[in-house]
Amino acid sequence: MKEASKMANAPQIIGYHRPTEIHVKLAAITHNIGEELKRTNPGTEMFAVIKANGYGHGLIEMAHACLSAGATGLCVAILDEALALREADITVPVLVLGITPVQWAGLAAENNISLTVGDLGWLQAAQAVLGDRQLSVHLALDTGMGRIGFQHPEELAPAVSFLTEHGEQYDFAGIFTHFATADEADTAYFKRQVGRWQAMMAVLDERPRYVHVSNTATSLWHEACNGNMIRFGVGIYGLNPSGGSLTAPYELEPALSLTTELAFVKQLAAGDSVSYGATYTAAQDEWVGTLPIGYADGYPRRMQGFHVLVAGQECEIIGRVCMDQMMVRLPHELPVGTLVTMVGTDGDHTISLQDVADYAGTIHYEIATNLGMRLQRVYE
Q: What is d(CA 176, CA 117) in angstroms, rounded to the nearest whole number?
A: 10
Give the C-alpha distances (Å, rounded to integers) separating 294 from 74, 108, 328.
Answer: 32, 37, 12
Q: Classify each residue of 190-222 as buried b or exposed e, where b means 16 or more C-beta atoms within 10 Å of its C-beta.
A: beebbebbeebbebbeeebebbbbbbbbbbbbb
3-class secondary-structure state, position 168: coil
Within the chain, residue ranges assigned H as helices are 26-39, 51-55, 59-69, 79-87, 105-110, 120-130, 153-165, 188-201, 216-221, 353-360, 364-370
CA dist 55 and 365 (Å) reads 7
Q: Which residues are known to be catalytic?
A: 51, 276
Helix, strand, coil percent values for the chain (each to nearest 5): 30, 25, 45
Q: What's the chain's length in residues?
A: 380
Sequence-distant (6+) residues with CB within 8 A of 136 are 109, 112, 113, 114, 115, 170, 171, 173
Query: Rounded distance, CA 294 to CA 283, Å?
Result: 25
- Is 323 annotated as contributing to ligand binding? yes
Distance of CA 133 to the CA centre of its chain: 31
Residues 6+ apart with CB under 8 A from 311: 331, 334, 338, 339, 346
Instruction: For residue 352, give the nearest of 303, 308, 298 by alpha carbon.
Output: 308
Phi, psi of 102 (to 5 degrees): -55, -35
CA 271, CA 133: separation in Å to the nearest integer? Answer: 71
Is 147 annotated as ligand-binding?
yes
CA distances, 306 to each of 1, 316, 338 (Å): 46, 6, 19
Q: Is-contact 25 380, C-beta < 8 A? A: yes
Binding-site annotation: residue ranges: 147, 323
Binding-site annotation: residue ranges for substrate: 147, 323
